[in-house]
Amino acid sequence: MGGFGQITLSLHFLGGRPDAVVVARPHRRARLLLLVACTSLLGCATAKGQAQAPARLRDTPIHSWAMQLDGIDLQRLARTALDLIVVDRTRGARGAQPFTRPELSALRSSRAGAPRVLLAYVSVGQVETYREHWNPRWHRERPDWLGPEDPDWPKHHEVRYWLPGWESLVLEEVRRAATQGFDGVYLDRVDAFEVWSQHRRELAPRTARRAMAQLVSKVAAAGRAVDPRFVVVIQNGTELTREPGFWSSCDGVSAENLLLDDTGAPLSDDVTGPILEDLARTRAAGRVALAVDYPRTGTARKEVLELRQRGIVPFVASFGLATLDLHDLHDLHDLEQR
């Protein structure tokens, strides 16, 4: 995740309830400081022969969710009615101090007293030089897993995620999150297999996908060794839903730019079709299906309605930088307790 800045939120209502939150966003690929999606998650039966999601997600109805990675105000988050919150494991992505168990416990229940799911953000497809696990000597003595810097995001490097050195770093982060008291992890840059198969061409496409699926599986195993109900949600890389046995390690899938491209123009059916099929497969397996789009103008009500009708949880963001501002919500009480 790259490009840290401040975010503006505004709720848009369909049928008298919040259905999506518009969030200012500097770039694509889930590089967001704060995500909020407010809508009902439509349940579906688990497909025959599919492994069930951990009890934590089965037992906790998810009607709204949010992700914030910098400038986190735990007290403010605790006052919300959000059912699922994603935060960095430390105090802001640039900080080295992890949140304590008492601090996480303060987020454990929503304002209504319902249980809340807490996920730690972990990037599995890139390494940022400002993370606590970054070693400055890697600039001089590059480990074999360290790839080139992302031209769109300075201080973000691609990683050969299939190599043991990087795998060890990721799994250690996951074990720390589980021990720290998080209910699971939210894995970003899962779609890195596209970089190494289509652009770098170091791996064949099928090999690249399988290698990422194996890493997700190892993440789930590492977390569930500490907490059997440990949750794993992936961001992008929806093709992994087609890999045999993938659902034994994955509990939710999110897709970006599902209906609109970076300019806000509608994407063609040949682009969105396969992803929609992957998300339908996600729901059929009893998992949570999410989507993120970035319209340049308007509230994208048509897109929100279309996604809701498909049983996908929509998140609508806008480009630009501003401050987190809840005072202009149509109904502040729907998000934050006064």
* Domain ranges (residues) in the chain: 46-293
Backbone angles phi, psi at 192, to 5 degrees: -60, -20
Classify burial at 217, counting beta carbons within 10 Å of its beta carbon; exposed 0-12, middle 13-18, buried 19 or more.
middle
Contacts of 198 (CB under 8 A, 6+ apart): 205
Model pLDDT for residues 52-101, shown as the tens digit of each residue = 666 677 777 777 777 777 777 888 888 888 787 888 898 765 556 899 99
pLDDT score of 236: 93
pLDDT score of 238: 96
Model pLDDT for residues 27-56, shown as the tens digit of each residue = 433 333 334 443 333 333 444 445 666 667
pTM for the model: 0.81
Residue 13 has pLDDT above 80, yes or no: no
Residue 3 has pLDDT above 50, yes or no: no
**Phi-psi category of 225—alpha, beta or left, where left has phi over 0 and alpha has psi -120 to 50?**
alpha
Average pLDDT, the chain: 77
CATH code: domain 46-293 is: 3.20.20.70
Angle at CA 239, nearest 5°, toward 237 and 245?
105
